[in-house]
Amino acid sequence: MSSRPPNLTFKLVLLGDGRVGKTSLVLRYVNNVFSEKQEATVQAFYLKKHLVIEGVPVTLSIWDTAGQERFHALGPIYYRDADAALLVYDITDNDTFLRVRKWVKELQQMASKDIVMAIAANKSDLVRSKKYDIQEAESYAATIGSKIFVTSAKSGTGVDEVFIDITTHNRYVLLYTTHCFRPHTLWSPVKASLGSLCERVVFTD
């Protein structure tokens, strides 16, 4: 392995109903901008973000899909080989949460069984008193081994947290940062068994 740590590339797909704020979350995270007049996505939108997790450079390949029903059938193109899915709903509109459940079912049947999922309860700036009713969403997230993040693309609340958390929980990033990038911390039989994995987990940007 070279002394320079390799760049891990990690594919993240955003799914959710139309108008819930998927594109706005991505643009807030990558470019730190927000528009009240964000236009609906047609098919999908791609952006890249470089970040460093535990000293390891990671490239996030972000596929922001179109939420309008007429684009639903395109979903598999984007989630088929995704490492993670960020499921977005609008905290002020319960119907959009039902759509999250539908996407989860579809991912469980069609996507990689190792896909990491997180849920963003977006538009939290629209909820007065900051008393979010996300209990139902939290219980549901627990049943699918996932977490809820309360976000606002408008104010920026929770946005970095959700993207960083989902990246950190990617199994390759976890394995690489804990087992490969710091091999001296490993017990040697474990190191030997992971050796080939560490060699394989080399992605180029």
Binding region for Mg ion (CB under 5 A):
22-23, 41
Of ligand GTP, Mg ion, none, which one does residue 7 interact with (CB within 5 to 8 Å by kind)?
Answer: none
Is residue 74 a contact residue for ligand GTP (CB under 6 A)?
A: no
* Pick from 168, 101, 92, 87: nearest CA to 127: 92
Site for ligand GTP in 128-157 (CB under 6 A): 152-154
Which class for 17: exposed (0-12), middle (13-18), buried (19 or more C-beta within 10 A)?
A: buried
Of Mg ion, ligand GTP, none, which one does residue 117 interact with (CB within 5 to 8 Å by kind)?
Answer: none
Report the nearest approach of ligand GTP to the CB of residue 26 (Å).
8
Kind and range of the H or E element at 74?
none
Rounded to whole angstroms, what are the CA distances from 67 to 103, 136, 161?
11, 22, 23
Task: Tell which one of 6, 67, 75, 158 touches ligand GTP (CB under 6 A).
Answer: 67
Of ligand GTP, Mg ion, none, which one does residue 28 interact with (CB within 5 to 8 Å by kind)?
Answer: none
- Whether residue 138 contacts residue 145, with contact meaning beta carbons closer than 8 Å, is answered with no
**Beta pairing partners, 50:** 59
Q: If binding means CB under 6 A, how many residues of this protein chain bind ligand GTP?
A: 23
Of Mg ion, ligand GTP, none, which one does residue 167 interact with (CB within 5 to 8 Å by kind)?
Answer: none
Residue with tokens 């994995």: 197
Report the nearest approach of ligand GTP to the CB of residue 115 (Å).
20
Cα 20–150–23 angle (5° rounding)? 35
Q: Which residues bind ligand GTP (CB under 6 A)?
A: 16, 18-24, 35-36, 38, 40-41, 66-68, 122-123, 125-126, 152-154
